[in-house]
A and B are shown apart, each in its own frame.
Chain A
Amino acid sequence: MSFISYLLNGISLGSIYALIALGYTMVYGIAKMLNFAHGDVIMVGGVIAYTAINSLGLSPYLAVLAAIVTCTVLGITIEKIAYKPLRGASSLTVLITAIGVSYFLQNFVLWQFGSNSKNFPSVVRFPTWQINESLSVDGVTTVTIVTALIIMVALTLFIKKSKPGQAMLALSEDRGAAQLMGVNVNRTVSLTFAIGSALAGVASVLLCSAYPQISYQTGAMPGIKAFVAAVFGGIGSIPGAMIGGVLLGVIENMSKAYISTQMSDAVVFGILILVLLVKPTGILGKKIHEKV
């Protein structure tokens, strides 16, 4: 393996982190809450795709669609049942509720799906791209990077150009003022959760294709890494989540390749701490000005 293929694999892993981190950062920007259940929404997406292919015998395309739709519906439902009643409560309360939801999703899947991890069937059928005899790019890697790129461009355009996107931006800037200007808070928050969870659905299929294992714990570590990526880039900032995600994936793969496989998590988290010490609100985070 050469440097370039490590880099490409890192970017591919990082794009998945970025897609998940987008869900964290959008929800944080608008609802000012850390949605700790986000990682488990990804896991549910993976389980749905697995079940659709293996038990129902659906085609991979339909399975991907099913995963995305289920994740979207799940995201909206979680928001309506668990988070909406707590609007206005302290952020720590909402955090614990999110953890409760995370436990619920994990254990529901554990109960229905069993505790063994299962082999995820290959969904992405894309040929390996042979650049020269020492360097080849896996089909999954190509698809992951391209998909993530398309989604990021589309999301940026949506936020910048469309009315609901502008409403989301306004809500994250100043909730009170946005409400006075006629932004429908409930609908915009639901939309945010829907988009974040749909991205989680896409990420779930990409993640399970790159690392073809699925169990009730699949979402936990990518979820926490993506959360780290979101903070890394500056939580609440959409371009920040993209940059943070890709950087984190590259750092993780590089430290696995050149430093130590077992210690890669320590390296990733160590770099995060260093970045936060130099820039306490992340790479693209807004500076908080304190008023006395």
Chain B
Amino acid sequence: MKTNRINHIKPQTKSTFITFAIAIGAFALSQTLIATGKMGNQMAGLMVPICYNVILAVSLNLTVGILGELSLGHAGFMCVGAFASSVFSVLVKDDLASGLLRFALAMLIGALTAALFGLIVGIPVLRLQGDYLAIVTLAFGEIIKNIVSNLYLFKDKNGFVFGVSRTPPADLTTVEKVLNGPNGVTGIPKSSTFTIAFVMVLITLFVVTNLVNSRAGRAIKSIRDNRIAAQSVGISIPKYKLLALVISAMFAGVAGVLYSHSLTILTATSQNFGYNMSIMILVYVVLGGIGSIRGSMIAATLLTILPEKLRFLSDKRMLIYAIVLIIIMLFNNSPAIAGIREKVRRVFRVKILRKTNTPATEGR
């Protein structure tokens, strides 16, 4: 009878369970490896980056895979979350003794600020579609990066001065430069631990999978599949589009908080918050399978580890990475070699995997 009950579980639920099982299993395994000293320092140092990259990939998948709109500015929201939270952390560092409470508040502030920016970006882009929406998100990402690296926040014992002027006003005594334009924020407490980062991954997975399989999620997917049909059955397109964009931005903000609190100095460069980073996240999503939450999670993990493992190639590292990326894209998607691809897949395909894969390809 027990087996019978398992078969009655909805395929989406089963798929969600598998996703969580993989995540928790991977966490338990790496914690064991770290505890027994089997994992090298290099790998152990990658654990927090893996977590925030997974959060970035899963949250971008909500926009690209579930809502079906290409976003090239995801790193911009990450930037907002990173700066809002680290400015907060630096400001209250002396007043708030409890590290965990401070980090929880910083997380909340980072997430909410990023969500607010998601709303600010989301409302104007409701008019746009396709490549035009993509270019506007790219533009917003670049604007955010550009503005953030020109903001200054000075603090003394009486209060703050905030603005675009690089010199602190003369009447401020013993100035502390909290936010110093292109030099960014310094002295951020290193609060991002593997466990906290992993808890955030679980929260992200929980919210996103539940959203995808809920009434709202079905509404969002219906907009992706046929906007006009969705509209004609009474689905409010602005409402659900904004919902997806805001939640996606919020989790990008969470990833930004984790990222900034794993560094001591945070600056906005084109490497970490420019469109390059947005594209990197998009690569995780596309390689993992558009619309597949589990795929995003696995692809983000592997693609965070791969460049580190290729370090022995030194300057040829990213060259190999690029070649691997092109080959994977051609192999996975070329209509010309569909026959060969099927043959290779048949060799690797396990019966159980196929069972869970066939009924629902979305929202795993």
Q: Kindly specify which of B1-9, B168-176, B312-320 makes contact with the partner chain.
A: B312-320
Interface secondary structure of A, over-half rule: helix
**B115-154, CB under 8 A of A: which get 1 and which 0?**
0000000001001110110011011101100110110000
Shortest distance in angstroms between A146's beta carbon and chain B's nearest beta carbon? 30
B360 CB-CB contact with A under 8 Å: no
- Which residue of B has the minimal Cβ distance to A85? B334
In the bound complex, CA of A90 to CA of B285 (Å): 14
Interface secondary structure of B, over-half rule: helix
Q: Which residues of B contact A28 (CB under 8 A)?
A: 131
Q: Which residues of A contact B276 (CB under 8 A)?
A: 220
Residues from 200 to 217 in A contacting B, C-beta threshold 8 Å: none
In the bound complex, CA of A266 to CA of B146 (Å): 6
In the bound complex, CA of A34 to CA of B329 (Å): 16
Residue from the list A90, A111, A224, A231 in contact with B132, Cβ < 8 A: A231
In the complex, the answer to whether B131 meets A269 with C-beta atoms within 8 Å is no
In the complex, the answer to whether A92 meets B286 with C-beta atoms within 8 Å is yes
Q: Which residues of A contact B23 (CB under 8 A)?
A: none
**A247-271, CB under 8 A of B: which get 1 and which 0?**
0000000000000101101100110
Residues from 275 to 292 in A contacting B, C-beta threshold 8 Å: 276-277, 280-282, 290, 292
In the complex, the answer to whether A86 meets B330 with C-beta atoms within 8 Å is yes
- Which residue of A has the minimal Cβ distance to B142? A269
Q: A89-B335, A100-B325, A107-B322 are in contact. Are A276 and B143 (CB under 8 A)?
A: no
- Which residue of A has the minimal Cβ distance to B329? A97
Residue from the list B127, B140, B318, B333 in contact with A107, Cβ < 8 A: B318
A93 CB-CB contact with B under 8 Å: yes
Q: Which residues of A contact B334 (CB under 8 A)?
A: 85-86, 89
Q: Which residues of B contact A107 (CB under 8 A)?
A: 315-319, 321-322
In the complex, the answer to whether B283 meets A265 with C-beta atoms within 8 Å is no
Q: Which residues of A contact B127 (CB under 8 A)?
A: 277, 280
**B225-238, CB under 8 A of A: which get 1 and which 0?**
00010000000000
**B58-90, CB under 8 A of A: which get 1 and which 0?**
000000100000100000000000000000000
Residues from 134 to 183 in A contacting B, C-beta threshold 8 Å: none
Shortest distance in angstroms between A265's beta carbon and chain B's nearest beta carbon? 5
In the complex, the answer to whether B315 meets A110 with C-beta atoms within 8 Å is yes
In the complex, the answer to whether A96 meets B283 with C-beta atoms within 8 Å is yes
In the complex, the answer to whether B150 meets A111 with C-beta atoms within 8 Å is no
In the bound complex, CA of A282 to CA of B135 (Å): 11
In the complex, the answer to whether A276 meets B136 with C-beta atoms within 8 Å is yes
In the bound complex, CA of A28 to CA of B131 (Å): 11
B26 CB-CB contact with A under 8 Å: no
Residue tally, chain A, CB below 8 Å to B: 48
A120 CB-CB contact with B under 8 Å: no
Q: A89-B333, A92-B286 are in contact. Are A100 and B135 (CB under 8 A)?
A: no
Q: A231-B131, A262-B146, A292-B228 are in contact. Are A85 and B330 (CB under 8 A)?
A: yes
Q: Which residues of B contact A88 (CB under 8 A)?
A: 335
In the complex, the answer to whether A34 meets B131 with C-beta atoms within 8 Å is yes
Q: A265-B146, A269-B143, A292-B228 are in contact. Are A104 and B330 (CB under 8 A)?
A: no
A44 CB-CB contact with B under 8 Å: no
- Which residue of A has the minimal Cβ distance to B134? A34
In the complex, the answer to whether A269 meets B326 with C-beta atoms within 8 Å is no
A235 CB-CB contact with B under 8 Å: yes
In the complex, the answer to whether B124 meets A104 with C-beta atoms within 8 Å is no
**A69-87, CB under 8 A of B: which get 1 and which 0?**
0000000000000100111
Q: A34-B131, A281-B132 are in contact. Are A272 and B329 (CB under 8 A)?
A: no
Residues from 295 to 330 in B contacting A, C-beta threshold 8 Å: 315-319, 321-323, 325-326, 329-330
A52 CB-CB contact with B under 8 Å: no
Q: A224-B275, A292-B228 are in contact. Are A93 and B143 (CB under 8 A)?
A: no
Q: Which residues of B contact A241 (CB under 8 A)?
A: none
Shortest distance in angstroms between B229's beta carbon and chain A's nearest beta carbon? 8
A228 CB-CB contact with B under 8 Å: yes
- Which residue of A has the minimal Cβ distance to B337? A85
Residues from 233 to 247 in B contacting A, C-beta threshold 8 Å: none
In the complex, the answer to whether B135 meets A228 with C-beta atoms within 8 Å is yes
Q: Which residues of A contact B321 (CB under 8 A)?
A: 103, 107
Q: Which residues of A contact B330 (CB under 8 A)?
A: 82, 85-86, 97
Q: A92-B64, A111-B315 are in contact. Are A104 and B322 (CB under 8 A)?
A: yes
B290 CB-CB contact with A under 8 Å: yes
The winner among A97, A220, A290, A292 for most chain B CB atoms within 10 A is A97
In the complex, the answer to whether B70 meets A92 with C-beta atoms within 8 Å is yes
Q: A93-B333, A107-B322, A227-B135 are in contact. Are A263 and B146 (CB under 8 A)?
A: yes
In the bound complex, CA of A204 to CA of B299 (Å): 36
In the bound complex, CA of A106 to CA of B142 (Å): 21
Residue from the list A87, A108, A266, A272 in contact with B135, Cβ < 8 A: A272
User: Other than the known A93-B286, A266-B143, what 20 A-B pairs have Cβ atoms closer than 8 Å?
Assistant: A87-B335, A89-B333, A90-B333, A92-B70, A93-B329, A95-B282, A96-B329, A100-B323, A104-B319, A107-B319, A108-B319, A224-B275, A228-B138, A231-B132, A263-B147, A273-B139, A277-B128, A280-B129, A281-B132, A290-B228
Of the A-B pairs whose beta carbons lie under 8 Å apart in the complex, a sample of 17, sorted by A's number, is: A82-B326, A85-B330, A85-B334, A85-B335, A85-B336, A89-B334, A90-B290, A92-B290, A96-B325, A100-B329, A104-B323, A224-B275, A228-B139, A263-B146, A265-B142, A269-B142, A280-B128
Q: List B residues at the A interface (Cβ < 8 Å).
A: 64, 70, 124, 127-129, 131-132, 135-136, 138-140, 142-143, 146-147, 149-150, 228, 270, 275-276, 279, 282-283, 286-287, 290, 315-319, 321-323, 325-326, 329-330, 332-337
Give the 4 A-B residue pairs with the shortest CB-CB distance, closest first: A103-B322, A269-B139, A104-B322, A100-B325
Q: List A residues at the B interface (Cβ < 8 Å).
A: 28, 34, 36, 82, 85-90, 92-93, 95-97, 99-101, 103-104, 106-108, 110-111, 115, 220, 224, 227-228, 231, 235, 260, 262-263, 265-266, 269-270, 272-273, 276-277, 280-282, 290, 292
